[in-house]
Structure 1
Amino acid sequence: MGVPEWHAEQEYHIGSICTHDGESYQSLQNANVGSQPPSEKWTPVLTSKNGLTHLGLEETAKQAAGALQKSQNGADIPNKPLFVQNIGALPANGTAVAANRLASRGALPALTGTTRGSDSGLIMGEVYDNGYPTPYGNVLRLTGTGDGEILIGWSGVSGAPAPAYIRSHRDNADAEWSEWAMLYTSLNPPPVPPDLNPVGSAIAWPSDNIPAGYALMQGQSFDKSAYPLLAIAYPSAIIPDMREWTIKGKPASGRAVLSRELDGNKSHSHTARAQDTDLGTKSTSSFDYGTKSSNTTGGHNHSAGGTYGGDSIGGRIRVQRDGNDQLTSWNGDHAHTTWIGPHDHTVYIGPHGHVVIVDAEGNVETTVKNIAFNYIVRLA
C-alpha cells in the first residue's frame, strides 16, 4: 500500500504520514485533526522531488547551473569587457590599458635623491604632510624606463584653489629627481615678474594714466636722494622731455648721449623745367589805310646852264656857259598822294622758356607715420 491521502476527519498522531497535492507530510503532534498540510502541525517528508527545496538548496542549485567553471579560466564569462569594468581591473589584450578608476595606494612617501618607484606602471598615492611641496593632495606616479610624477594639490579651505606640480627622473640608476615645477592656471597665476626695464629707460606707455612708481618724461627735475638709481642715469637730476620727440640710436661719432637734434631734410637737389612751346610765325590783323596826302609844301625851282652856239640862235635868248645864276620856272607849293593800301605784319615769337616757381607744401615739421605714446620712466 502507498501513503494515504490526507483527510480532514482523520485523526493523525505524531509520526503519522500522509500525502497532499503530491507532497508527503509527517504529523508533528497527536490529535491532529482538520489541519491541512502544509501547516505548523506538519513537516515535509524529504523526497527526490522536494529535497532541494526543503533543505534550502533550490536557489543554490539554480546558481550552480549558471556558475563559472574554473577549467575555463574566465573564457565562459558572457560579457568580458563589462566584467573587467565592474571589478575595476585593467584589461591587457593588445597594448591598450584602460580602467574606469584607479585605486589609491594610500600615503606614498615622497621619493628623493636617486630613489625610483618600486612599482612599474601608473599608480596613485595620497599626499598628507609626507614630504611633498604641498601638504594635501594626490600624486600620480608613472614608472617605466624613466619616472614621472604629477602632484595635484588640494586646499584646506573650502573652495580655495591649490597648486599643481610636476617632476621627472631619467632612466639612469644614479640620476636624481628634478625639482618640482609648479603648473600655473587662471586661479593660480605666476607671480608678477620684476620690471625688466632698467631704471632710466624711456618706456612707451599707451595711456595718460601713469602707473604708480613711474613718471611722465616731461623735462621735470627729481630728488636724487629719493631716487638714487634714476640719478645714475640722469646725473643732472632732470628727466628729459620726451613729448613730441622720438629716440634715435647714437651714431658712432659726432653726437653725445641725450643730445638733441632738430628736424630737417637730408640735403638733396631737384631739377625743374617748363615745357618748351614753338609758337611759330603769327600774323597781325589786316587793315586798309587807303590813299593818303602829304602836306602842301615844297615849292622850288632848279638852276640851269650850259654852252651856247652864239649870241642869238633863232631869236632865242642865249644861255650863259656858267648856269649858276640861271633858273627854271617856279613850280610853287604842291602836294603828293601816297597809296598805302591794305596790308598786314608778321611777328616771329619762336621757342622760349619760362621761370618756374615751386610753392611750399607739407607739415610744419619733418615726421614719419607714427602712433602717439607717452614716454614714462621708472622711479627708483
Structure 2
Amino acid sequence: MSSLAIAANNLHKSYGDKVVLDGVDLTVPEGTIFSLLGPNGAGKTTAVKILSTLTSPGTGTGAVRIGGHDLATDPQKVRASIGVTGQFSAVDNLITGEENMLLMADLHHLTKREGRRTAANLLARFDLTDAAKKPASTYSGGMKRRLDLAMTLVGNPSIIFLDEPTTGLDPRSRHNMWQIIRELVTDGATVFLTTQYLEEADQLADRIAVLNHGRIAAEGTAGELKRLIPGGHIRLRFTDPIAYRSAGLALRDATGDDDALALQIPSGGSQRELRSVLDRLDSAGIEADELTVHTPDLDDVFFALTGDAHATDARTTNAHATNAHATVPAQAKEAVR
C-alpha cells in the first residue's frame, strides 16, 4: 500500500465568527491525484493554504503530516517538499518567461548554471521555448498557466498543490493542462487539486472529496460517489403507440409517459441490466426506436451534497462537462450483447 503524501486530522479554521473548516480529515496516498470539490466559500482554498504552510491551522486541529514531515514542528521541511500553484498567477508580466523561471531558480538557491539548465528544461517541457524571451504580458491565458506551473516545478517538489489551475482557460487549454497533470503523476509526483469543474475531477482524480460548509460531505472514487445518488434509468421511446403499449406490458417495472410514448426503467447503468431489458423486448417481438441510458454523474452528486443554493454557480462553472446521457439507436442493441 502506498505511503501517505498528506495526512491531515481534524482541520479547523475560523475567521472571527465564520467557521471555514470544521473538522476536516484528509488522506492522500503518494503518486495519486486527489481532488477537493466544493462550491465557492466551501473552504477549499483555506485547506490548501493550511496544508502548504501559507496560513496557520485553527485551534483544535490534530496532527498534520505533509511528505512525512510534521506541519507544526517542521514547516521548513514541508515547504521544501511541496509546490503551489494558486488561483491567481504568480507570473510577473513585466519580465520574460525565462526571467520568471530564473527568478524562481534564485529563490530555490540553485547555481546560475543549474538555474539556466532547469529553466530551459521546464520551458521546453511546457512548450514555451519559443516564447521564453518574450514578456509574459504577451502570453495567452493558457501559456501563463503553463508558465505558472513550470515555475512551481523549479524546486522539483514531490507534492504539488493546484488550486483551481484551469479557471478561465478555454477547453483546449484546459485539456492540455490535464495532460500535464497526468504526466506529473506518471513521473512520481502527488497532486492535490481543488476545482469547481466537475468534469476535471472526474477525468483526473483517483479520489474525490466534496467539501460543503467546512465539512467533508462525501469522499471516494468518482464511481463510488456516483453510486451514492439514485436516479439512474433506461429510457425507451417509441413512435408506434401499439409497440409502446406492448412494451409497457413486457416491462412491468417501467414508468410510462403516454404523451411522449416513452418508458423509463430504473437502472444502475450496468451492461447486464441493459441486456435484460433488450432480451425482454426481444421475447415480446418489440423494438424501441430510441434507447437512452442515464447514470448519475458528478453534477448529480455535487447538487445532491451541496444543495440547490449552489446549483446555479456549479452549472455555470461546469458548462463544458460531459453529458451523462448516451443515446443509442435501437439497431445497435446487438453490440450490447
Instruction: Report TM bin, short chain.
Output: under 0.3
Q: Which has the higher contact order (CA 8 A, sep 6+)?
A: 2
More strand, by proportion: 2
In terms of Rg, which structure is larger? 1
